[in-house]
A and B are shown apart, each in its own frame.
Chain A
């Protein structure tokens, strides 16, 4: 399979097929990236469009210094950060919420637990678990050292494990 970076370089040379292939590879992950971070599905779709259009427009400036995945998610992260800033100005609380097609009970339980994590830890966890980025890629994206990525990820997982434990869930579920 042709690498993402090679496809991007082919697109720079004018290959439409290369971009179509890249879009096919990352359409769902990028949409999921926004969907897990934004309440509004329409807005998530718009930002996913903006991300791909930014790749389209910025192809001339692309240099394969980092992986294409890091490049793509850096654009996406910039988009969502701007959206968060704007949403914070307009509405105080922005909670992650997404539509699911599986058991809504499990997803809600899980989402509420993730939502309770520290913001910095949560972002590292999401990038690792759902976007499948490596520690180095997460560090480059968030501009933090790899050791920080590792420690935040460990704390996030331990915290989530505690939040997802049956005892705690039952205890919190029994509260009026």
Chain B
């Protein structure tokens, strides 16, 4: 008889004897047993085996079992704790559960170790490169040579031309290069910003550099280097002070008269030297070597002239235009407005950054594991058996202590 040809599985015969079949299955197996001698033999064997197992009987339970359990029951009843949660054994402290969950603890320790290693391996600079979008609510702009008054441009051009020709006028009075620094706290930043442009225009100055910082959640601020004609410096400063509360003011002046006079004289001499050298070349009668020597000298003088002209130009500009370092800071007031239009972008950027951080972290953990994995395996292999021995010894001593108590 095989499972393929026999209509009833032998296991079903056993389940029939155990009363584990549905009524339909039981009827089918019962009718089959009447017809199949082989299955009847199997059923007889199974019954005989079960009856043989009855030979293994157990001594009655010791009376102490009843005493202990009923005593615990009586104690609980005396305290009125039957059916209350106070009967529940208090949870062990976590350190007492440690032996039970040692694999979980070992895994947690390993993960913590890896995390610490990851943090140790992670470059410190990564922590400093926090969320700093290139564009967004915070923006910083630097403007070079912002604006130029047309009339002053003409004046400067004339000055340059004079300098080139060496026809600079001698100073009639002391030449002072004036500087000022103003730090003003304003209520309305945008209005102050517009007013600054207006004042610069009115006083025929120009903005040399401008840096505006508008950061969300922080006060707006502006720092600019303004060039104002020296004669109008005081008036311009008075206008700027009207913007708001002056936090800090500083003025200074550097006399450059002697430098200008000295430079003018040297420049005049250099031009004279250049003119004489030009005459020598024009009426040359000497050797070729002498001519080359004159040309070389002319080049040197020409270089000196250009350098001195640049210095003279810079000095005169410092005298003609006073420099004002203006700093405008808004008195910050937190706005309780709705969400800005950039919220979605911020969330998206945060998600992208989070994804990158997760990917970087995963890669870093993998790199860390690969870098120290062989060492960990080696030390694990070395320390496993001593650790296992120590663990067993400790566990055995704990068991003995428990048995004693």
Contact = CB atoms under 8 A, between A and B. Distances in A.
Interface in B223-264: none
A77 interface: no
Contact of B55 (A107, A153, A160): A107
Provide the main secondary structure of the chain B interface: helix
Nearest to B55: A106
Contact of B11 (A52, A101, A150): A150
A92 to B, nearest CB: 13
Nearest to A98: B58
Nearest to A136: B20
Interface in A7-24: 11-16, 19-20, 23
A100 B57 contact: yes
Contact of B65 (A31, A61, A110): A31
Contact of B52 (A27, A110, A130): A110
A142 to B, nearest CB: 16
A135 B15 contact: yes
B61 A48 contact: yes
B59 A23 contact: no
Interface residues of B, number: 43
A28 B61 CA distance: 6
A154 B61 contact: no
Interface stretch (B82-90, B131-139, B327-335, B377-385): B82-90
Interface of A is mostly: helix
B57 A153 contact: no
A63 B55 CA distance: 36
Contacts of A161: 45-46, 48-49
A49 B69 contact: yes
B56 A110 contact: yes
Interface residues on A, range: 35 or more
Contact of A45 (B18, B64, B84): B64
Given A19-B82, A36-B58, A53-B68, 12 more contacts: A14-B83, A27-B65, A35-B59, A45-B65, A52-B69, A56-B72, A56-B73, A59-B82, A60-B88, A99-B58, A114-B56, A157-B50
Interface of B: 10-11, 14-15, 18, 20, 45-46, 48-50, 52-53, 55-62, 64-66, 68-70, 72-74, 76-77, 82-85, 87-89, 392, 395-396, 399
6 contacts: A35-B59, A59-B82, A102-B57, A114-B56, A157-B46, A160-B53
Interface of A: 11-16, 19-20, 23, 27-28, 30-32, 35-36, 41, 45, 48-49, 52-53, 56-61, 86, 89-90, 98-103, 106-107, 110-111, 114, 128-130, 134-135, 150-151, 153-154, 157, 160-161, 164
